[in-house]
Chains A and B, each alone.
Chain A
């Protein structure tokens, strides 16, 4: 077998492996209900801040505890806990993506986020006078 043929095979094999791994490892954007079917597994949940539930963050009490309620795209509201500082301009965010997993905490399912991505109304691109 020619060396270039071996190389080509190797190349295709790696390419295939990458494809499979990308598909296999990718997470998915889900709602809380789906995330709750497998507690402990990491998901991305897209939603908006539930403004009817007060947001808890008091830097003086605990600078690393943020708790809020998020309404997912199906309208289900869940408590989200994040052990870190409140992201910049969090209250004003239009959309929040939380990355993390549902954890059972005394019966009440809580979403523990490892990462919070916010989409803010970028005032620097907003066209209002």
Chain B
């Protein structure tokens, strides 16, 4: 047993103890609130009181865990594996947060943290009769989540040992095997951590994960309401409060997804904001279900219609959050995702988490299926009612989610069935082919439904309104299609639907102009229309403007999809792209990043190139990960020009090569005079000179032979004289080479062969100084701003709805 020096062990013990405490308190909470939910009575006091104590204790423990882990990272205690593997001393303070949630344990903690915050907020603000059910579900989720951090080995007889969770407080020497740990003072030698993945050293990465996890956490509460509704048969009452939380979930998860897209666009280099990557899809799935549930709830509150489907959507939304967690953290995605995750061996636990809640959902729904009320007498809902179209709309969202789910789950099928299916070769266009018609339907239905009343509407005025909006949209579509040169009818259809949504919702907003703040739905739908228009135009008319027309010819048999999209520019040279003359003028280093300076010039009215702007795409030439390029973007009101480097000369290589001579090459020349053609110069040999000038006096004194080779070296615009000399003194050869500064040539008179009358000149040329260059790719995204403004409107509309809903809800509560 070695007693190690310099380790600070109490924080780890405290943290680990707090994890165990939070797990136990969550268990207590599940039991107490579970009893309360089932209506069990205590002799003295209430089960809820016990539950509250348990949750309070749990919260305290969670805050302790977070505080300790943050402290460990912040103070660079590298005896802890988590701090060592995710942080380094050079890491700016603002990215300590990113380091905190880079690892799986940290991101679980983030999720746990939001559950605690939402739980406390729920207890203070709402609570009451929903407390038992919602808190029981929340505590159950916390139980599962905190078990991921336990890192405890259980010995089970017969079955061997079972590891539950992965603790963020394990020591470096407990995780790694290295001879260094044989020394008691090993810590002295571990001066720095492994560092944070440079891709995550980005402001978006500080804000995007917390918002996304807030969204995940917010999906838990509606699940809790649904459980309460089913257990306690509160079919009518649950929708009101659950709707408020569903809105919060849709808002936060949606914002998180948009931020992820913005991060991808601004700092990753896959050339876009959405790539149907499995990890992106995984967070989109619960969002689609929650949006579906939101619309189902609206239909239900006003008409008593579609309760079963709404309950299913709410519960599936949360189950899909768990599925997303399983997909992204079990390592099952493997080759199919650009995101890499390490498998901490938690797959089993994640599956248990998933099936526990999925099972709970199936069990409760099956138990109460018969008695869940449907539409009251009259049976048939009207085709001109709003609730009918809300229902159809939410089902369309489910279809959309189903398609994404199936394709994203291909690796899961492979794992289960042992097949080797791969995603469709052109996966993006495959998704688009399905999702485009779905988007068209949703835009058209979502806009028209606002014109319909709950119950039954008079068809004539609605049809008239639809005709007018349609006519207007057709005109707009033709205009956009013509100016943007969009030829495909399916694209035109989506543009039409987006125009229809914008025109329709704007008109509705105009009609409701006295109460604009209460029209969250209209604003959100308007935003969705604008966003879809932006998505279609920016992706279908996305253009590579750095097309390279030089290079090796492709040959006749080839028609590669990705043809020569990268352009090389040498330093101080320029290429013309997208109407700009782009000049690479050099690079500079700031922190870990190397910035490549690219000067953009534009032609003025007189046809002269004048300065327009300078862009600085950057790259980290990271010793650990190679070249990591981040784009730079020029924003215009109607398009973006986006560029990133794809290749740069290796700077190390660059410095080494800079002044070296190539291998010497022997040339045989006629001793009486000759010329030699070299690659970049002409060498004229004037014949051996046996009488040397006085300056060679010293070298030639007492020599048996001393000859020189007078040379004239001519390159494009200069001529140099060289005189390599050969001296034979007392049988020893001495060679005095001569060299030019430019073009960098070193010549030695190697040998004189009197018999053949030839001399051998050894010529070495200086390696041409490597020229600095960048290889870059430049894209033009037309109308990309419509995507962002549309998202703002969507998120803004949802926020308005949250505020409006809460005001309404508190008014209802005071009225009670």
Contacts and interface: CB of A to CB of B under 8 A. Distances in A.
B568 interface: yes
Contacts of B402: 15, 18
Given A62-B551, A103-B557, A7 B392 contact: yes
Contacts of A103: 557-558
A65 B194 CA distance: 34
Given A2-B380, A44-B425, A92-B626, A85 B558 contact: no
B131 to A, nearest CB: 35
B775 A127 contact: no
Contacts of B567: 63
Given A64-B548, A85-B775, A88-B625, A3 B410 contact: no
Interface in A2-59: 2-4, 7, 11, 14-15, 18-19, 21-22, 25-30, 42-44, 46, 59
B514 interface: no
A122 B424 contact: no
Nearest to B409: A22
Interface string B633-646: 00000000000001
Nearest to B398: A11
Interface stretch (B11-19, B172-180, B790-798): B172-180
A119 interface: yes
A80 interface: no
Contacts of A63: 548, 551, 566-568, 646-647, 775
A63 B549 CA distance: 11
Contact of A64 (B426, B561, B564, B625): B564
Nearest to A104: B557
A58 B592 CA distance: 25
A7 B395 contact: yes
Given A2-B380, A114-B561, A124 B421 contact: no
Contacts of B420: 28-30
16 contacts: A18-B403, A25-B424, A26-B422, A26-B424, A27-B423, A28-B420, A28-B422, A60-B568, A64-B566, A83-B558, A89-B627, A95-B335, A114-B425, A123-B624, A124-B194, A127-B175
Interface string B735-749: 000000000000000
A66 B561 CA distance: 15
Interface residues on B, range: 35 or more
A95 B336 CA distance: 12
A46 B420 CA distance: 11
B484 interface: no
Interface string A116-129: 01011011110111
A60 B647 CA distance: 10
A18 B406 contact: yes
A129 to B, nearest CB: 5
Interface in A60-75: 60-65
B180, B565, B647: most-surrounded residue (chain A CB, <10 A): B647
Nearest to A112: B560
A97 B336 CA distance: 9
A105 B557 contact: yes
Interface of A: 2-4, 7, 11, 14-15, 18-19, 21-22, 25-30, 42-44, 46, 59-65, 83-86, 88-89, 92, 95, 97, 99, 103-105, 112, 114-115, 117, 119-120, 122-125, 127-129
B425 A27 contact: yes
Given A27-B423, A64-B563, 14 more contacts: A2-B380, A3-B388, A18-B399, A26-B423, A30-B420, A42-B425, A62-B551, A63-B568, A63-B775, A64-B564, A83-B564, A84-B564, A124-B196, A125-B340
B741 to A, nearest CB: 25
A65 B562 CA distance: 11
B85 A127 contact: yes
Contacts of B398: 11
Interface in B420-461: 420-426, 430, 434
Contacts of B568: 59-60, 63
B565 A64 contact: yes
A26 B85 contact: no
Q: 4 tightest A-B contacts by CB? A: A89-B626, A123-B624, A42-B425, A85-B646
A19, A25, A103, A115: most-surrounded residue (chain B CB, <10 A): A25
Contacts of A22: 403, 406-407, 410
A85 B775 CA distance: 8
B777 interface: yes
A36 to B, nearest CB: 15
A26 B552 CA distance: 33
Contacts of A89: 625-627
B555 interface: yes
A84 B434 contact: no
A117 B565 CA distance: 17
B335 A117 contact: yes
A15 B551 contact: no
B422 A27 contact: yes
Given A18-B399, A95-B335, A3 B424 contact: no
Contact of B422 (A19, A29, A112): A29
Nearest to B548: A64
Contacts of A125: 85, 340, 342
A19 B395 contact: no
B625 A120 contact: yes
Contacts of A123: 194, 624-625
A46 B558 contact: no
A28, A46, A85: most-surrounded residue (chain B CB, <10 A): A85
Interface in B592-632: 624-629
A42 to B, nearest CB: 4
B82 to A, nearest CB: 12
Contacts of A117: 335, 338
Contact of B551 (A3, A64, A129): A64
Contacts of B649: 59
Contacts of A43: 422, 425
B369 to A, nearest CB: 16
Contacts of A88: 625-629
B406 A85 contact: no
Contact of A124 (B195, B399, B560, B629): B195
